Amino acid sequence: MLERVISIIIGYVCGLMQTSYLYGRLKHIDIREYGSGNAGTTNALRTLGKKAGLITFLGDFLKPMIAALLAGLIFRDHEQVKLFEIYAGVGAVLGHIFPCYLGFKGGKGVATIAGMSSLFCFRNGCWFVVPVMMLVFIAVVVLTRYVSLGSIIIIVVYFLWIIYLGQDGVIKMDSKELYEIYILTGLYSLVAVYKHRANILRLVRGEENKIFQKKE
């Protein structure tokens, strides 16, 4: 249990690096006071431009990997090291969504979840999930121009797919570890979807902003 707690703490500290917020501060603005008010990739893209959007995505994408790397180094001799790496990734997601120094109001966690999920898939023999999820996201965004809809769909689909691959034996873990993975994936997926609740309401009402939509 102690190893799991330590891994989550490591991840949470890594997740506190709010890329869009820090980038915005370099430009003398608080990203949370502009656009949607969200400290994430889409708002950085809309508010500060493509360069800011790319930097924000890469920073948020990589921090769960850094957390997992640190946990992996600390527990490298433990037989459950890959599981602890996932706990560190989950911690990074929590740190990103609920940063203590920003009043627990961070981003929605999509890029950070993407980074953690990519690491998990490549480490556990289901790397093919990553390009498929990317294609699904791109297809939804291109067809609808709703980034939020694409994000919600891939979060839910990924969760269901991980359960299927685990039960089908593609993910090589014992049953206890697998169910831990299911619970962790379900929890952070639920939190991420909950963070999109305002987007969901706007989608239902037909009021959601489309990407690259010009404001009148």
For helices 110-123 and 50-74, give the axis angle rounded to 10 degrees: 40
Measured CA to CA, the distance from residue 73 to residue 79 in angstroms comes to: 13
> According to the model, what pLDDT value does residue 75 have?
93
Tens-digit pLDDT string for the chain (216 aa):
899 999 999 999 999 999 999 999 998 898 888 887 888 888 888 888 889 989 999 999 999 999 999 999 999 888 888 889 999 999 999 999 999 988 888 888 899 999 999 998 988 888 899 999 999 999 999 999 998 999 999 999 999 999 999 999 888 888 888 999 999 999 989 999 999 999 999 999 998 888 765 544
> According to the model, what pLDDT value does residue 186 have?
92
> What is the four-CA torsion angle of 69, 71, 75, 77, rounded to 10 degrees?
-10
Residue 198: count of CB within 10 angstroms of its CB: 13
Measured CA to CA, the distance from residue 65 to residue 91 in angstroms comes to: 11
CA–CA distances in Å: residue 128 to residues 93, 132, 134, 145, 153: 22, 7, 10, 25, 18
> According to the model, what pLDDT value does residue 34 have?
86
Prediction pTM value: 0.87
